[in-house]
A and B are shown apart, each in its own frame.
Chain A
């Protein structure tokens, strides 16, 4: 008998075409409700189109009918993993419009909770990144520590996820001595935990193989799209608003800005972005330690009139949130509710980079890429 072996390309009787696969919106690897329309050639992605809007809540328009205090619960829900940072940015915008002077104690508390929240957000990024790449254990350990942070927040603000804690003019509740003790306990324990995470995931050979040289974002592309946060720093550009354009009391605090160095793969790959987040957690611990030492007694709320009416005008304030720069463009016409509130979301920028980066990747690597961008769809859709 005669067999002739033909490859698929040679055999004209077999039609080959590209396969279009929907990744999401319920796919756990897309961190929320991101739908990626992927065109694949066998296992290689040739095209990826992100579809967003599944979590659109009309927040910006809705804010126009709220008074300035009532907006805070809404900005909480932008990036629901980092509510404190979202509030901080918005509140700074209103305060700069009003020209308010904030008590020193309130500034210390704000920086402390913002940095705790940064750690909590990065812990989620770290844990879910492990899940994306097939390691389930780190997720549980990360959430155990995150739970401690949430307990602190629950004790100081009353909410576990959406706090409404940072208010225009200060913060809602003062920190009790028991809260400060909880924070210092957490800070003392965290370094040991960090070493465990490092051994569990960072040093793992399989994890390194999955992330090194994968999803390299060149510096030029970062500049073109306006990437910020750990994505930008992972590509080796040292840019952090806390250092470059200090707001609050960050100018008085000592900390370093970690940047991707390509120590395992090449500069700007998934591992670099991941590791920037890991080191940032340690830097945040440093900041919290300094705040605990330097915290002053006094009021936590400045005198604010009952109805907040900023003078007519506009302002753009950006702060460094865990995912990148969150910017608030606030326009006021002198009435008691904002005329317009535009949110510049870092995750939106990062999602829009995916079509540029995806072609030529394996499907499994695309999961690694999206995990390393660390997106939250609440902020993308708004």
Chain B
């Protein structure tokens, strides 16, 4: 290693000036690299609201539950480390027609509540792995900040959330 720093020696005038010189020299070298970056390197920053990065297919952002396929097995609520999934169901009425999920699983329970508190959610993705019908998935939507904490609770049985279904399914297909 060049110019080892020796604290034991006394500071001579020669050493004093050579110290200053080497400080200037090494800093100038660093500045040369910085200028090299300005000239040669292409931009790395993304002008966020105007430009967006393409997110990978397995991005873990806001959860979405497709209630049409949900069997109300509550495995997602059980595995959730932060208990942010609120799920309630009741028995199907006897005269109701037999329903089946897309992958052939019979739906025996009627879902009465399916709410996810996304303010609590830690985006670990464990709920998506245990789901037998793969109805709960992560979407790529990460921009949903709210002014009120309560607004972060999403009721997936509401018409508002149901209307997102086609868009989410299309995204899942990709």
Contact = CB atoms under 8 A, between A and B. Distances in A.
B5 A158 contact: no
A209 interface: yes
Contacts of B88: none
B1 A264 contact: yes
A342 B75 CA distance: 28
Contacts of B56: 154-155, 158
Q: What interface size band does chain B fall in? A: 20 to 34
Contact of B30 (A172, A173, A199): A199
Contact of B60 (A71, A74, A158, A200): A158
Given A154-B59, A196-B33, A206-B27, A164 B126 contact: yes
Contact of A70 (B26, B44, B79): B79
Interface string A71-102: 11110100000000000000000000000000
Contact of B5 (A70, A71, A265): A265
Contacts of B161: none
Interface string B3-46: 11101000000000001001101110110011001000000100
A103 B37 CA distance: 43
Contact of A213 (B1, B7, B27, B129): B7
Interface string B99-133: 00000000000000000000000111110010000
A207 B120 CA distance: 43
B4 A173 contact: no
Contact of A73 (B4, B33, B81): B81
Interface residues of A, number: 37
Contacts of A213: 5, 7
Interface in A133-174: 137, 141, 144, 147, 154-155, 157-159, 162, 164, 172-173
B58 interface: yes
B4 A264 contact: yes
Nearest to A148: B44
Contacts of B27: 204-206
21 contacts: A70-B80, A72-B124, A73-B124, A73-B126, A141-B37, A154-B59, A155-B58, A158-B60, A172-B129, A199-B30, A200-B30, A201-B30, A203-B2, A204-B23, A205-B19, A205-B25, A212-B7, A213-B5, A263-B1, A264-B4, A265-B7
Given A205-B3, A213-B5, 4 more contacts: A159-B125, A164-B125, A205-B19, A205-B23
Interface of B: 1-5, 7, 19, 22-23, 25-27, 29-30, 33-34, 37, 44, 55-56, 58-60, 79-81, 122-126, 129, 138
